[in-house]
């Protein structure tokens, strides 16, 4: 199966406040059927079913066998619709694996207040270690995708900012959040080592030319078929700026030889890796704070990510 949204968006805790009230409760299959019937009556007879792996920023429903309907859940996520509609057709032919093809562009209606979209279904399953034939090869393929994305002409692309939840922008945007979260997590993480990682990330100022970035290279946005990378989905946090945010997968999904293979293949300098550790640390800290005391498994995974980042800083920083 394939979904065009993230399933694990606890990391968007900072984004939720900017996005506004949760709109998930008002989005269901009945609404999707009404929207399709009103705006695209040629598809009104097709079944509408929820996808198995859905996200927080957007709800996704399968439309027939070959399409999906994607609807933002709140105002802060709505700008991604126009961005993806504009830029995915530009990026698609320049990338080594498919990205979501835009089929139709919906507008507010039936009580739903945001633009929405219909995309072509992309076959595949979200990346899980047991579905990947060779994790080193997979890591190299992800690096190849990123290098191809970064080579695309970015001169007219959307500069990093609110629409990307400041992915691709300076880490200083999240400085207060990170420091306050570190203080709140005293006794739960090695605050001194984490503070050193964060300080190093802020010091490693980005001085390169702006390039396209995806903004959320994670397991749920990477589809696999026959054990190999088959597609990359959900460009909602994409934009033009610093690509260091695209390296976070090094600590969230990869380890050992696969992490080393990714690092070699992606070809970034030490300053970029320092900033990437900052992105990974910020994300893991706010996610740990959210799940601490409520979800033991999620909290344990965020702790593991933090430990990997700290160990990486000890090794390379």
Confirm if 161 and 281 have CB atoms less than 8 A apart: no
Q: 191: pLDDT confidence band, cut at 50, 70 and 90?
A: very high
Q: 204: pLDDT confidence band, cut at 50, 70 and 90?
A: very high
Q: 84: pLDDT confidence band, cut at 50, 70 and 90?
A: very high
pLDDT digits (tens, 9 = 90+) for 215-270: 999 999 999 999 999 999 999 999 999 999 999 999 999 999 999 999 999 999 99
pLDDT surpasses 90 at 99: yes
User: Which of 193, 164, 225, 134 minimizes the C-alpha distance to 313?
Assistant: 193
When the pLDDT of each residue in the chain is averaged and rounded to a whole number, the result is: 91
pLDDT computed for residue 24 by the predictor:
57
pLDDT computed for residue 3 by the predictor:
36
Q: Which residue has the tokens 């090695």?
A: 190
Q: 57: pLDDT confidence band, cut at 50, 70 and 90?
A: confident
Q: List the end-to-end C-alpha distance of the chain, in Å, as a whole number.
A: 40
Mark out the alpha helices in 26-78 (DSSP H runs): 29-39
pLDDT computed for residue 10 by the predictor:
37
Any idea how long the chain is? 317
Q: Could you give the domains of the chain?
A: 10-122 (3.30.200.20), 126-316 (3.90.1200.10)
Cα(52)–Cα(62) distance, integer angstroms: 10
Q: 52: pLDDT confidence band, cut at 50, 70 and 90?
A: confident
User: Which of 281, 317, 316, 276 minimizes the C-alpha distance to 302?
Assistant: 281
pLDDT surpasses 50 at 309: yes
**18 vs 64, which has greater pLDDT?**
64
pLDDT computed for residue 8 by the predictor:
34
pLDDT surpasses 60 at 102: yes
**Rounded percentage of the chain residues whose pLDDT exceeds 90:** 87
Which distant-in-sequence residues (6+ apart) come within 8 Å of 41 by Cβ?
A: none
pTM above 0.75, yes or no: yes
Q: 14: pLDDT confidence band, cut at 50, 70 and 90?
A: very low
pLDDT surpasses 70 at 187: yes
């Amino acid at each position: 199966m394939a979904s065009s949204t993230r399933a694990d968006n606890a990391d968007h805790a900072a984004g939720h406040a900017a996005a506004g009230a949760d709109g998930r409760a008002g989005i269901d299959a009945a609404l999707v059927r009404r929207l399709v019937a009103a705006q695209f009556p040629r598809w009104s007879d097709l079944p509408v079913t929820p996808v198995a792996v859905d996200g927080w920023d957007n709800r996704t429903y399968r439309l027939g066998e070959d399409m999906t309907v994607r609807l933002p859940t709140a105002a802060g996520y709505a700008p991604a619709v126009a961005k993806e509609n504009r830029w995915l057709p530009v990026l698609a032919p320049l990338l080594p694996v498919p990205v979501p093809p835009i089929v139709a562009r919906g507008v507010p209606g039936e009580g739903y207040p945001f633009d929405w979209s219909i995309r072509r279904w992309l076959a595949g399953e979200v990346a899980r270690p047991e579905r990947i034939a060779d994790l080193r090869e997979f890591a190299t393929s992800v690096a190849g995708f990123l290098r191809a994305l970064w080579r695309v002409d970015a001169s007219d692309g959307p500069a990093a900012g609110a629409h990307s939840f400041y992915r691709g922008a300076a880490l200083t945007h999240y400085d207060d959040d990170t420091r306050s979260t570190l203080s709140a997590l005293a006794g739960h993480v090695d605050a001194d080592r984490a503070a050193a990682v964060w300080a190093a990330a802020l010091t490693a100022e980005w001085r390169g030319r702006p390039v396209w970035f995806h903004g959320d290279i994670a397991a749920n946005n990477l589809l696999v078929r026959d054990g190999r990378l088959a597609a990359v989905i959900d460009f909602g946090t994409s934009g033009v700026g610093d690509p260091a945010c695209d390296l976070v997968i090094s600590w969230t999904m990869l380890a050992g030889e696969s992490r080393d293979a990714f690092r070699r293949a992606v070809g970034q300098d030490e300053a970029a890796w320092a900033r990437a550790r900052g992105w990974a640390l910020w994300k893991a800290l706010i996610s740990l704070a959210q799940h601490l005391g409520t979800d033991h498994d999620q909290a344990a995974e965020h702790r593991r990510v933090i430990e990997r980042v700290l160990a990486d800083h000890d090794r390379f920083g």
